[in-house]
Structure 1
Amino acid sequence: MYIIKVKGVAKIPDYVQLRDEQFTLLAYFRVDRPEKSLDKIGLSDKADYIMNLIKELPFGQIMKLEL
């Protein structure tokens, strides 16, 4: 799975994309509201771990997520 952090501009907030190995979009959520999306794809138990990685991840970079 891959994480991409996208920088928002003006009124558009920052977003995060979670993609699988084939780069298919699994989840797309605001940085400040991840709960519903992570729960929907079954990762609510790993939300704290994922959000800590997202906080450290620079905008526009892709990070491979090992769960």
Structure 2
Amino acid sequence: MYIIKVKGIAKIPDYVQLRDEKFTLLAYFRVDRPDKSLTKLGLGDKQDYIMEMVNNLPFGQIAKLEI
């Protein structure tokens, strides 16, 4: 699974994209509201790990999540 952090502009907030190995979009959520999306995807128990990666990831970078 891959994670991408997207910088928002003006009134558009920052977002996170989670993509699978084929780069299909699995989840798209605001950085400050990951709860519902991660729970719906079945990753609610890994939220702390994912959000730690998000907070350390520069905007526009792609990182591989080992889950």
Q: TM-score, normalised by structure 2?
A: 0.99
Alignment RMSD, CA only?
A: 0.3
Match of 2:3 in 1: 3
Consecutive unaligned residues in structure 1, runs of 5 or more: none
Q: Percent identity?
A: 79
Q: Which runs of 4+ in 1 moved over 2 A?
A: none
Q: Do residues 63 (structure 1) and 59 (structure 2) align?
A: no
Return the offset for 1:37. Answer: 0.1
Matches within 5 A, 1:6-45: 6-45=6-45
TM-score (normalizing by structure 1) = 0.99
Query: 1:13-49: per-residue Cα shift (whole Å, max 9, x none)?
Result: 0000000000000000000000000000000000000
Counterpart residue type for residue 30 of structure 1: R
For 1:17 and 1:53, how far apart are their aligned partners in 2? 12
Tell me, which stretches of 5 or more residues in structure 2 are unaligned?
none
Residue-pair matches, total: 67
